[in-house]
Amino acid sequence: MKISELLKTNKPTLSFEVFPPKTDAGFESIRDAVIKIADLKPDFMSVTYGANGGAKKYSAKIAKEIQERGTPAIAHMTCVESDHDSLAGQLATLKDYGIENVLALRGDLPEDADPLLWDFQHASDLAGFIKEEGTFCVGGACYPEKHPESVSIEEDIDCMKIKQDAGCEFFTTQMFFDNEIFYRYLFKLRAAGVTVPVIAGLMPVTNAKQMERIMSLSQAFIPRSYVHILDKYGDKPESLKQASIAYTTAQIVDLLSNGINNIHIYAMNNVELAKTIQENLSELIPSCAE
């Protein structure tokens, strides 16, 4: 099923993001976790490409496993060191696997990389190529607090309009921890003519080091209430997990109450986390109770 069609129903949805293994040795354990999350029957699942595209050969295989369990899958693709021929081959593989959805991303820049040498320099270039190559539903990423490389939020939103015009049919946000930031961002998107659905991306933080990495990569604002959680439970992993899931659940309730129907959880292959959040929403999102 194409994600664009699912989003048109305007029904609340819950989806999870997982990542592929980096090596053959890690394939079975990650496959097992992904299958268990797929068996929870979320509305769809998204499979990352690996850092710098390093796990791309496993990404399609994991997406195929998800599809075979009746859950729509989104396969990520990045511009990083990709060319027309290699991407055309990957798209052909996705087609063979029955995967209809692709998330077009620029990707994190490898050290000393020169994007000017790539066939695709921007996610909008990649989105246009994917649309030309087949009948895929193409999505993109958006950044409520602007992309770290953007000069301003206005410049960043201009890029979202370019992505939409290139063929992106929905956007999924980078993780955020303050809903007010998301609401203000969504208002600006709509004012700029970005009309496609925007899926709210959230991430319960299960360890303190994870938060350090999030802050260094995305520069996301951490509300004082979340800082208190990290200070109180940062050295108690199980307590932190429970408190973070409760915080994210409260975010979701607020989003749903304000008409934001599509929720995406960066689950990091954590089966327990995915299951607990789904159980917490059993009366709010119909698919969670099925």
Q: Is 105 helix (H, G, I), strand (E, B) or coil?
A: strand
Q: Are 167 and 131 in contact (CB under 8 A)?
A: yes
Chain centroid offset of residue 24 CA = 24
Q: Is 238 a catalytic residue?
A: no
Q: Which of 240, 243, 260, 244 is nearest to 252 (CA)?
A: 260
Q: What residues pair up with 266 in beta bridges, in sequence order? A: 17
Catalytic residue among 17, 65, 145, 169: 17
Q: Are 46 and 17 in contact (CB under 8 A)?
A: yes
Between β-strands 73-78 and 198-202, what pairing exists: parallel, antiparallel or unpaired? unpaired
- DSSP string covering 130-177: HHHHSS-EEEEEE-TT--TT-S-HHHHHHHHHHHHHHT--EEEEPP-S
Residues annotated as part of the active site: 17
